C-alpha cells in the first residue's frame, strides 16, 4: 500500500467507537479474523448469487465501519452500491480484486497487532 492511501485500520477511531474499552475492541477485531462473511460474499459472486453477495457486502460494510477498518470499508462502499438492485454488475466484478486486496490488508494489520 502506498503512503498516500488511507490507513487500513484507524485504531484511535475504533477504540473511541468502543467507548475506549480496549479489551472489547480487541475482542471484536480478533473475531473479524475468523468471520466467514467475506468468504460467503466471494462464493456468492462466483455463483452469480448477487442478492446474497449484496447482503454479505452490506453486512461487512457495517462491521468494518464499526471496527474502523477504513481501508476495507472504503472499498466496500462502491461495491455495495454497484450490487444494490444489481445496478452495475460489471462495476461490482471490477471492484472485486481491490476488495480482496483491502480484505487481506485488514487481516494482516489486525494480526500484526498481536493481541
**Does a structural domain hold residue 3?**
no
In this prediction, residue 6 has a pLDDT band, given cuts at 50, 70 and 90, of: low
- pLDDT per position as a tens digit, 62-73: 999 999 999 999
The number of distinct structural domains making up the chain is 1
- Cβ atoms of 17 and 66 within 8 Å: the answer is yes
At 5 the pLDDT is 46
Q: Are 5 and 71 in contact (CB under 8 A)?
A: yes
Q: What gap in Å lies between CA 60 and CA 40, rounded to an integer?
A: 11
pTM for this entry? 0.90
Residue 105 has pLDDT above 70, yes or no: yes
Q: What percent of the chain has pLDDT over 70?
A: 94
Is 26 part of any domain? Answer: yes
In angstroms, rounded to a whole number, what is the distance separating the alpha carbons of residues 72 and 5?
Answer: 12
Please indicate, yes or no, if residue 1 is contained in any of the structural domains: no
Asked if residue 64 is part of any domain, the answer here is yes
Output the average pLDDT for the chain.
93
Residue 90: domain span: 11-113
CATH classification at residue 28: 1.20.120
Amino acid at each position: 500500500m502506498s503512503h498516500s492511501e488511507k490507513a487500513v485500520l484507524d485504531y484511535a477511531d475504533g477504540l473511541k467507537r468502543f467507548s475506549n474499552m480496549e479489551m472489547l475492541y480487541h475482542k471484536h477485531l480478533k473475531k473479524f479474523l475468523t468471520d466467514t462473511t467475506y468468504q460467503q460474499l466471494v462464493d456468492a459472486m462466483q455463483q452469480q448469487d448477487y442478492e446474497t453477495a449484496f447482503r454479505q457486502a452490506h453486512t461487512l460494510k457495517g462491521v468494518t465501519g464499526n471496527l474502523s477498518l477504513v481501508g476495507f470499508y472504503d472499498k466496500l462502499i462502491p461495491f455495495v452500491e454497484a450490487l444494490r438492485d444489481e445496478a452495475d454488475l460489471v462495476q461490482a466484478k471490477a471492484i472485486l480484486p481491490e476488495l480482496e486486496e483491502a480484505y487481506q490488508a485488514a487481516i494482516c494489520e489486525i494480526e500484526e497487532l498481536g493481541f
